[in-house]
Chain A
Amino acid sequence: MSMIVKTVTRWLKGPILLFGIYIVLYGHITPGGGFGGGVIIACSFILITLALGEKNGLDVFSKGLASRLDSGGLLIFLFVGWLGTYLAAGWASGTFFGNFIATPEQSYFTLLSGGTMPVLNIALGLKVASALFLVFTVLTALRIAQPGLDLEENPEEEGP
């Protein structure tokens, strides 16, 4: 990759990551949320891999960390949902994913509103970002298709 691409990547990787985090965090007020924001966060790491080489990309966000964040994000999602069974009150009591963080009236449409939704968005953002980065890295940087290769292991598979 040419010098222009590398320099611009070094400047832009921070703002792209920040923009993705903004979309994840404000997911309950503006369009976006976990899925879209997670894709943008993954894109910032993929940009590093594409422009600066796979070694730099894996140094920033290693395969093991991505795999753990992948499963960990969804486990946090399920855990928050399961907590709703115990902590939710009122008409949502005793149900999975019941809302248990109360939102006072005057704080509607601000960042700290929306009940459990910001927490769920953050967990989803973590999961989608690490899953997408893992898919990209495994398919391009760690495996090269060669005819007649005889391998034993199975591919890294992720769920939807």
Chain B
Amino acid sequence: MIYSLCLLLILVGLYGVVASRQTVKIVISLVIMQHGVHLLLLLIGYRDGGSPPIVDSTTTLTSFAGLTVDPLPQALVLTSIVIGLGVLALMVALCVRLYDRYGTFDVTEIRRLRG
């Protein structure tokens, strides 16, 4: 059930990318879509009633494997968040530069290339 909420978030982001008229709104919708994907990735590693995957001097291998949530998707999501940050910085810089050149944030007016 909660996976379908993640899918809903991804679809909302996708709709925003397709239907937005402004470059900044397209950027924000892409960020929402990436958030949905990260949530999906985190949920794959979730275990009902699990404990955080932190090892201290009392945990053993079997207790760790049996009780905690999966730490690997958490590491994957961290990496992916940082990648998303880099792409976001690039996209915002592009939006600023596009405004310099074309004088508008409207995607339908930024259409010199066709064919």
Contact = CB atoms under 8 A, between A and B. Distances in A.
Determine whether A and B are in direct contact in the complex, meaning some CB atoms lie less than 8 angstroms apart: yes
A118 B103 CA distance: 48
Contacts, number: 48
Nearest to B94: A155
Given A157-B90, A160-B86, A109 B97 contact: no
Given A143-B96, A148-B103, A160 B57 contact: no
A147 B103 contact: yes
A139 B57 contact: no
Contacts of A146: 99-100
Contacts of B2: none
Contacts of B103: 147-148
B92 interface: yes
Interface stretch (B34-42, B61-69, B77-85): B77-85
A4 interface: no
A145 B105 CA distance: 11
Contacts of A159: 86
Contact of A155 (B82, B93, B102): B93
A160 B92 CA distance: 14
Nearest to A143: B96
Contacts of B99: 145-147
Interface residues of B, number: 23
A45 to B, nearest CB: 16
The secondary-structure label for the interface of chain B is helix
A128 interface: yes
A139 B82 contact: no
B25 to A, nearest CB: 16
B100 A139 contact: no
Nearest to B79: A35
B54 A30 contact: yes
A102 interface: no
Contact of A109 (B57, B93, B96): B57
A31 interface: yes
Interface string A118-160: 0000000000100010010011000101111101000111111
Contacts of B100: 145-149, 151
Q: 8 tightest A-B contacts by CB?
A: A160-B86, A147-B103, A155-B93, A149-B100, A145-B99, A135-B89, A160-B83, A145-B96
Given A143-B96, A147-B100, 11 more contacts: A31-B54, A109-B56, A109-B57, A138-B93, A145-B99, A148-B103, A151-B100, A155-B94, A158-B89, A160-B82, A160-B87
